[in-house]
Structure 1
């Protein structure tokens, strides 16, 4: 089952995100995200457990006739459930939300060395039109799996 998460999912979301990064913020940060206008967190559940999730931020925009754009972050599937189609459902849920909001594009970034690049390409994402760049105030993350 895939649905948008609520503040009641905070502890489970933080536990799942620990598979992505070890320094997860307290559940109160999750509640802040849930309450943020234009932010949606979708999750897949199996047997009552949260096993995959991702965050969509819809951003206001001055170009493209004022149509918003989406940014997807914090994409994670529990290691025991990878490769079974759960994230495909989560991403479809977020794509539907973005298109219903009339977003003109959805962006995401993935690490160069992760196996996720092929997954994103199968969903229609492409890196051949733009060059992603970033500046960080925190060190780049290292691979972390529990």
Structure 2
């Protein structure tokens, strides 16, 4: 896609990230910009936590968060967790979500991870198809507890 660039988010992306996240969870409580920026800065201070964004003509339109987690099995190889996969509603089905996920996979592989995990609460068949298209397999059972 012309004018598309995939990169790591920075503190300067705080407002754009707040905007893109409304396309993921529209009913989330609003957080003031200063607080969001502080939390973003703390997250990005750890090199094993990163937000990958796709820009189209300088505007962030897709994003995911990648966590590299230490692990004491599989030869002490780390695992990767992907969260908050979102693409602006106007840019879905354009390949931008795939670009950020493939970048996350590449970063996880470069970090020596032996697997990448992603959970989705979506019951939409298209969402599941999308994740399978990028190479993720629905072969495990996930559990979570909301706190």
State the 1:118 CA deviation. Answer: 0.6
State the 1:36 CA deviation. Answer: 2.3
Q: Which runs of 5+ in 1 are unaligned?
A: 138-146
In structure 2, the partner of 1:19 is 23
Name the SS of the counterpart of 1:10 in structure 2: helix
1:42 aligns with 2:48: no
Name the SS of the counterpart of 2:75 in structure 1: helix
- The whole-number CA distance in structure 1 between the counterparts of 2:78 and 2:18 is 28
- The whole-number CA distance in structure 2 between the counterparts of 1:111 and 1:118 is 14
Which aligned pairs between 1:99-118 and structure 2 lie closer than 5 A?
99-114=109-124, 115-118=126-129
Aligned pairs, how many? Answer: 136
In structure 2, the partner of 1:121 is 132
- The whole-number CA distance in structure 1 between the counterparts of 2:54 and 2:130 is 17
- The whole-number CA distance in structure 1 between the counterparts of 2:106 and 2:40 is 22
Deviations 1:70-105 (A, max 9, x none): 000011000000000001110111111000011000
- The whole-number CA distance in structure 2 between the counterparts of 1:88 and 1:24 is 28
Which aligned pairs between 1:1-146 and structure 2 lie closer than 5 A?
1-21=5-25, 22-23=28-29, 25=31, 26-114=36-124, 115-128=126-139, 130-137=140-147
- The whole-number CA distance in structure 2 between the counterparts of 1:67 and 1:104 is 6
Q: Structure 1 residues 125, 83: closer, same or farther in 2, change over 3 A?
A: same
> What's the RMSD between the two structures over aligned residues?
1.2
In structure 2, the partner of 1:142 is none
Q: Which runs of 5+ in 2 are unaligned?
A: none
- The whole-number CA distance in structure 2 between the counterparts of 1:69 and 1:24 is 31
- The whole-number CA distance in structure 2 between the counterparts of 1:59 and 1:100 is 13
Name the SS of the counterpart of 1:106 in structure 2: strand
TM-score (norm 1): 0.88
Deviations 1:33-77 (A, max 9, x none): 111231111100012110000000000001011000000001100
